[in-house]
Chains A and B, each alone.
Chain A
Amino acid sequence: MPKENSLSDYINKSNKITKVFDRKIRISLLSSFTINGLSEILKVKSAERNISCTVYEAPYNQYSQEILNKKSDLYKFLPDMTFLIIDARNIFGEIFRFPYSISHLERAKIVENKINELKNLLDNYIENSNSKIIVTKLNVPSFSPNGIFESKTEYSFHNMIEDFNEQLTKNYLNSENIFVYDFDKFIAKNGEDNVFNYSQFFFGDLKISMDFLPVLGQDLMKYVIGYLGITKKCIVLDLDNTLWGGIVGEDGFNGIKLGPEPPGNVFMEFQRVLLSLHQRGIILAINSKNNFEDAIKVIKEHPYMILREEHFAAMYINWNDKVSNMKEIIKEINIGSDSLVFIDDDPVNREFVKSVFPEILVINLSNDPSSYILEIENLIDFSVLKITDEDRNRGKMYLKQKKIIELEKTSTDLQTFLDQLDLKISIKEVNEFTLPRVSQLILKTNQFNLTTKRYQETDIGKMIKDSNFIVTCIQVEDKFGDNGITGVFIIKKENEKEWRIDTFLMSCRIMGRDIEKGIMAHIINKAKENNIQKINADFIPTQKNKPIENFLSDHEFKKEGQSWTYKIKSKIKFPKYLRMEIE
């Protein structure tokens, strides 16, 4: 069983939460059986991540009524996220025990009807609420009255439930608002006989045992992390006894444990897991105390090394302490330290990093390397509700970034560097294709973000259709290639003479290239064309957006009370080194 606190611990702790955090989430719980305690678990687990979580728990097995009645407490609660937890006993009723009292055609018909019922219900909810909804797949029980003949049975009892799950998934494959949680995989991982306890089921209609409810809560937190965009973005790795066994400086190139035979296969497989995460957008970096030459030889030349130089956005291999290296890595990759995960086999290094950067997720690796993989697989911190093309190409982007940094080092001054970069900025109105990426930037960008307003995809979808808003994204290309969509601004038309910059942000990848000057020039010129006299803006300081604090004053905005204002006189010129393309 995974390490978890008891249900009563969660209930007690949840009563003691007094702190109110900046990050907030409202969750509704709907279910076909008793899930008492889950709300307390979610509250405590949220608070542990500095999130204030408010929960509405609907009376059990009344989810249909709650959804169909537009005046129900469910709608009044205005949830951000709703979990609908259902089970096969409830969905199929008597058929759950007597599937073979009817024909296979009748079984198929029942599944079709049940899927349609659920679809109507979910569509209805999405139409009437702004909440995302996460519906659970059904658990496919291991038992069947047909026993081993089950797999010889046409549209069997097990097929019924599998088909239900498959159709459910298919219906919402491209939905922005409806997500399907694989409860069956949860059971597969934790064991049907552990999660489902007949005694608790008969005694209190509990279909998830009390010991495993916290484990489920932990898994559901993935959606909270994804929704709030507080996903970890980068794994910083040690080398000796982490990516390979042994110490390269002592054991030598041929002496380290890395290869298809045990124990080297442990490290090869661990590297494969890391590479698979890298392929979906997690950045990798190295922080190692080693002779650079020894280590880089392994990375470049070892026949069984899976991760190579091109997979690392930054490599700090030297004799500096781990904290100093970590500071350099944060600077070079240019991301918030709270989006880092640190993996090192040495507990002393781990403690040292943790003491200076409590916000970094430091993995407490066990002393058995064969358990490293599971520790990574069990992390919920990489959860995202969407994976975009930008995510998949992130590794290549950082490689490009490295080349840009080299160019910057060889350039004599900033102007020469910017000229050589050959920057091209495309300014585009946001459409349905760019919407997911724009929403992702709005949820995740912390540093160069003027107001840090967080909008979900549906919110931005509404703004696009609203003529009072201009929602624009910025794509940046340079001599090394395309950076993709890396900036967003939203203008709110306050009246015929005034606009307000509601949102202005740029990804850290393109910071420090004066791109913002071009974008601001564009906003001012566009305002002028629309006979606007004043542009208003707010700077909302956070712990992280210091890089943008002088942005408004640098662009000649004047502070008026709480707000900033720019009086438009004439159009202004774009910086010479930027090629602007306005669509």
Chain B
Amino acid sequence: MSNKLYEIISRVMKIDISTISDELGPKTIENWTSFNGYVLLNELETGFNVKFTIDEAMDVENIADVKRHLVNKGIIIDE
């Protein structure tokens, strides 16, 4: 599953898949603007057929947060 997750992050944030790591976030990814943050969540919702609550959406500060919320929704992320 992480392939799909990384593919979406890479596409939305315009970074190479190999450079993605858990601690990356708006401060370290240049294209992670607030707008692209919404786009990312929207693409994840469509891609994994899930819905984020507004609390979850507000809570995302890095890739690890994204993974945590996906795992809580039953998505299996294998490293």
> A interface vs B, CB < 8 Å?
6-9, 11-12, 15, 34, 36-37, 199-200, 202-204, 206, 209-211
Contact = CB atoms under 8 A, between A and B. Distances in A.
Interface string B38-79: 110011001000011110011000000000000000000000
A12 B46 CA distance: 17
A8 B38 contact: no
Contacts of A199: 51-54, 57
Contacts of B58: 203
A206 B43 contact: no
Contacts of B43: 6-8
B14 interface: yes
B11 interface: yes
A34 B35 CA distance: 9
A8 B46 contact: no
A582 to B, nearest CB: 61
Contacts of A9: 11
B19 interface: no
B12 interface: yes
A203 B39 contact: no
Interface of B: 11-12, 14, 34-35, 38-39, 42-43, 46, 51-54, 57-58
Chain A contact surface mostly: helix
A463 B39 CA distance: 47
Contacts of B11: 8-9, 12
Interface centre among A9, A199, A211 (most CB of B within 10 A): A199
A8 B12 contact: yes
B45 to A, nearest CB: 9
Contacts of A210: 38-39, 42
B42 A211 contact: yes
Nearest to A198: B54
Nearest to B37: A204
Contacts of B14: 12, 15
A9 B7 CA distance: 12
A203 B57 contact: yes
A203 B52 CA distance: 11
Contacts of A6: 43, 46
Contact of A206 (B38, B51, B57): B38
Contacts of B34: 204
Given A8-B11, A36-B35, A210-B39, A203 B46 contact: no
A8 B54 contact: no
Contacts of B42: 7, 200, 209-211
B53 to A, nearest CB: 8
B46 A37 contact: no
8 contacts: A9-B11, A199-B51, A199-B52, A199-B53, A200-B38, A204-B38, A210-B38, A210-B39
B54 to A, nearest CB: 6
Given A6-B43, A6-B46, A8-B43, A203 B38 contact: yes
